A and B are shown apart, each in its own frame.
Chain A
Amino acid sequence: MNITRRHLLLLLPAASVAWKYVLAGTPEAAPNYKLSEHWWGMLIDLPKCIGCGNCVRACQAENDVPDGYFRTWVERYHVSDYDIENPQVDSPDGGKKGFPPAKDVKGKNFFVPKLCNHCADSPCTQVCPVGATFVSQDGVVLVDPKYCLGCRYCVQACPYGCRFINPRTNTAEKCTLCYHRITKGLTTACCENCPTGARQLADLRNPADPIHEFLKTHSVHVLKPSMATRAKVYYNELDGSVR
């Protein structure tokens, strides 16, 4: 075949795009893992959380999260029976080192672990100008750090405050549900290290997953349901004052 200058000009852009994909490399193989067979979420059994901060420490160690930023954190709520709409909340250093004794033991005191809600209709994914953040086929919201511009629009769009800009990479970062672990049949670092089983990874597409029985038999809610994000982090016995 004779390649003319015109052919070459037409081929060059296509070849450059193809080369970009070659440079991007192939993802790490996870044998026997089929994306279409999973739909990941998490169950947080609030009455079991003791605010030890193990999950936060495990997450930071597993994912090399910089100090002062959090893929997961724990909040402590104090709700007075005289003012249930205005809780007192603290989360010293994201609850990484646990909590000091509560100042006020009257009213309700409880802990609320937070993380990315891996929303099926995630506002962060919607606003990303280049599609660097996306919902994977198995329901995990991920960020491609090689593609992210660092425009911070996704950080603004997340209603739950789960995203941050990693100062080392200047790209958006958040909980990945330890994607590198769950695609190999392991659980997340936070679930693995929770001493009370308050955090449980849930595969909503697996009929044998205990999450289905739990959702049927317990009072389970998601955070900020008015945001209509189809969040997949389910909280057992979530108090109405939690934001």
Chain B
Amino acid sequence: MPGVDGFMYPNEIELQWSVLIVLYPFLTGLVAGAFILASLERVFQVEAVKPTYRLALLTALSFLLVAPLPLQLHLGHPERSYEMYLTPHRTSAMAMFGFVYLWYLMAVLVLEIWLDYRRQIVLLSQSSTGWKRAIYSVMTLGSTNISERALAIDEKAGWLITVIGIPSAFLLHGYVGFIFGSIKANPWWSTPLMPVVFIFSAMVSGIALVMLLYMLITWARRQVIDMKCVDTVARYLFYIFVIDFSLEMLDLIHRIYEADESFRSLDFMVHSKLYLSHIVVQIALGTIAPIALLGLTQVAKLSDIARKRIYAAAGCLTLMGIFAMRWNVVIGGQLFSKSFLGYTTYKMGLVAREGLLMAILLTILPFAILWVLVKVLPPWPEASSGSIPDAEPAR
């Protein structure tokens, strides 16, 4: 049979989870990582990363809004997906997705953004005109008190939500890891390390994305990049990346040393069908190279321009590597037979419901949403601190 080497159970030849399911953990990982970066400033008082705080929150929201779309498009019956809310099956890891997602979206992210922007929204609702005024007025949700006392309450509530948000971000993405890690039938997925690896890789990808976005947007706005900020972000990225890589290596070494019944099959797959995406893209280009680049900035005294270039290169390589990691987990986990006697091939369609074009569209969509969000809720420091002369705080 074309595309099949050795023996596959006959129902295994067709892959069940496509590139859209690769996107799902990739997007949720970016959400969780961006939020963790935002919490560095809010909870852990890392003041240097403050310029990225609001951008990180808006990035998290943009990607979170798109995260369920690949799942929805992938379902055989998307019109029945609401059943997960009405009759969730308690033993299913996937059944909790809707609840974890809603909790994170509504109870954490939207609330935190609203509290953080409330003063600005109220001021904008008073200073703008026409449809803009209407939009901002709706966004105040009728809460127009921006007295110092009210803002102090906002601040405390926002802090508390961020504290709750950190374990929630871990839950959001650790849970995605658990969806794969709990499948005992699949030795490529079945490891208790999977949720932990997912959490750390999520942090790595989210931090890299916000760092890149901050540098890109600041450059596009012809502003000066705050080097203290990007240096700090890059340092955290480096530390977390080292932990992430160590965990992945631990998993790899454990598998090689234990060499259970599935090992020969998985080892062959890594050295054949997954060689490019796993060894070359994920490990060499997507992990070792960015860690080396970021490590270089920690030990060598480099000029601002050199560091900027290195951070940009490391950020891009990191995102590519984490995407490859998601690819290797999702697609790699379906390329070998559960009989350990054969391998199949993933054929990605181009213009199909689960094809390449759809995947590209879903990757671009969060950036379009972010563009709108940035227009509506400017995350720049001058926008938040600047007062509007005509506006009077409402009582």
Binding site for B on A (CB under 8 A): 68-70, 73, 75, 87-91, 93-94, 114, 123, 125-131, 147-153, 155-165, 169-171, 227, 243
Pick out which of these stretches binds chain A: B59-67, B226-234, B334-342: B334-342
| A169, B337: Cα distance in complex, Å | 25
- Minimum CB–CB distance from A210 to chain B (whole Å) comes to 30
Contact (Cβ within 8 A) B11 A127: no
A127 and B16 contacting across the interface, CB-CB below 8 Å? no
Contact A163–B92 (Cβ < 8 Å): no
Given contacts A153-B94, A227-B185, contact A130 B84 (CB under 8 A): yes
B340 touching A127 by the CB < 8 A rule? Answer: no
Q: How far is the CA of A148 from the CA of B337 in the complex (A)?
A: 25
Using Cβ atoms and an 8 Å threshold, which residues of chain B touch A131?
Answer: 87, 89, 92
- Evaluate contact between A165 and B97: CB separation under 8 angstroms: no
Given contacts A126-B91, A126-B92, contact A164 B76 (CB under 8 A): no
B77 touches A (CB below 8 Å): yes
Task: Specify which chain B residues have a CB less than 8 angstroms from the CB of A170 in the assembled complex.
Answer: 76-77
Whole-angstrom distance between the alpha carbons of A162 and B92 in the complex?
19
Report the Cα distance A147→B93, complex, angstroms. 18
In the complex, chain B residues whose CB is within 8 Å of the CB of A159: 184-185, 338
Contact between B75 and A127 (Cβ–Cβ < 8 Å)? Answer: no
Least Cβ–Cβ distance between A157 and chain B, in angstroms: 6
Known contacts A148-B77, A149-B75, A163-B11, A129 near B338 by CB under 8 Å: no
- B interface size (C-beta, 8 A): 41
The answer on a CB contact under 8 Å between A127 and B341 is no
With both chains docked as a complex, state the minimum distance between the C-beta of A92 and any C-beta of chain B, in angstroms.
Answer: 9
- What 1/0 mask marks residues of chain B from 89 to 103 whose CB sits below 8 Å from any chain A CB? 101111101000000
State the CA gap A176–B318 with chains docked (Å).
47
For this complex, 13 residue pairs linking A to B, each with C-beta atoms less than 8 Å apart, are A129-B89, A130-B89, A131-B87, A147-B80, A149-B78, A150-B77, A153-B92, A159-B338, A161-B337, A164-B11, A164-B14, A165-B76, A171-B76
A204 CB to closest chain B CB (Å) equals 24
Instruction: Kindly report which residue of chain B lies nearest to residue A161, judged by CB atoms.
Output: B9
Q: Which 5 A-B pairs have the closest CB atoms?
A: A150-B76, A161-B9, A170-B76, A159-B185, A131-B89
Closest-CB distance, B182 to chain A (whole angstroms): 8
Q: Tell me the bound Cα distance from A158 to B184 in angstroms.
A: 9
Tell me if A151 and B76 are in contact (CB < 8 A). yes
Nearest chain A CB to B32's CB is how many angstroms away? 21
- Residues of A close to B17: CB separation below 8 A: 152, 156
Instruction: Specify which chain A residues have a CB less than 8 angstroms from the CB of B251 in the assembled complex.
Output: none
Residue in A69, A73, A94, A149 with the greatest tally of chain B CB atoms within 10 Å: A149
> At the interface, yes or no: B218 with Cβ under 8 Å from chain A?
no
Contact of A160 among B9, B77, B333, B334 (CB under 8 A): B9
B51 touches A (CB below 8 Å): no
Whether A149 contacts B10 by the Cβ 8 Å rule is no
Asked if B7 and A149 sit within 8 Å, CB to CB, the answer is no
B185 contacts A123, C-beta separation under 8 Å: yes
- Are A89 and B94 interface neighbours, CB within 8 A? no
The answer for the CA separation of A210 and B80 in the assembled complex, in Å, is 44
- Contact A149:B81 (CB < 8 A) given known A127-B92, A127-B183, A161-B339: yes
